[in-house]
């Protein structure tokens, strides 16, 4: 298996993975706006050319707090038939290592309260549960 940054020609494969893991996502037109030189990076794992896992990493570099620059992670996804093969763990470990090397001070993510396998994975690779609450406002 190979880990790489998402390429434009693989956008449809990536959307198929996201839809399979999380349900119906935005239309493909939204995905086609992905730019490789943006504050976010999408890392994918391929098996024989097919995307089987991914994590989206978003870089935040504000000057206001000492925990920055930091990374936010989103869309940790692995095809069902590829789970329990340490694909997400390997991706997380690579992002953690690269984040350290690139001078980031923290990595943050959110997770559903009842996603217990994900909780175990995140804690296994070193994440700590915080006392933060997530708020949302639909516009």
pLDDT, one tens digit per residue, over 33-64 is: 887 667 889 999 999 999 999 999 998 887 77
User: How far is the C-alpha of 120 from the C-alpha of 80, rounded, in Å?
Assistant: 17
Q: CATH topology for 2-124? A: Aminopeptidase (3.40.630)
Contacts of 26 (CB under 8 A, 6+ apart): none
What is the DSSP code (8-state) at residue 85?
S
pTM for this entry = 0.86
Q: Where are the domains positioned within the chain?
A: 2-124
């Amino acid at each position: 298996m190979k880990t790489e940054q998402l390429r434009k020609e693989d956008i449809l494969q990536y959307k198929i993975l996201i839809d399979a893991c999380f349900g119906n996502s935005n239309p493909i037109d939204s995905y086609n706006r992905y730019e490789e030189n943006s504050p976010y990076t999408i890392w994918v794992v391929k098996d024989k050319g097919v995307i089987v896992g991914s994590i989206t990493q978003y870089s935040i570099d504000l000057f206001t707090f000492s925990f920055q620059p930091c990374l936010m992670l989103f869309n940790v996804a692995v095809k069902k038939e590829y789970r329990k093969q340490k694909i997400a763990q390997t991706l997380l470990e690579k992002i953690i290592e690269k984040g350290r090397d690139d001078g980031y001070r923290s990595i943050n993510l959110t997770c559903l309260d009842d996603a217990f396998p994900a909780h175990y994975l995140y804690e296994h690779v070193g994440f700590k549960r915080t006392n933060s609450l997530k708020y949302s406002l639909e516009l």
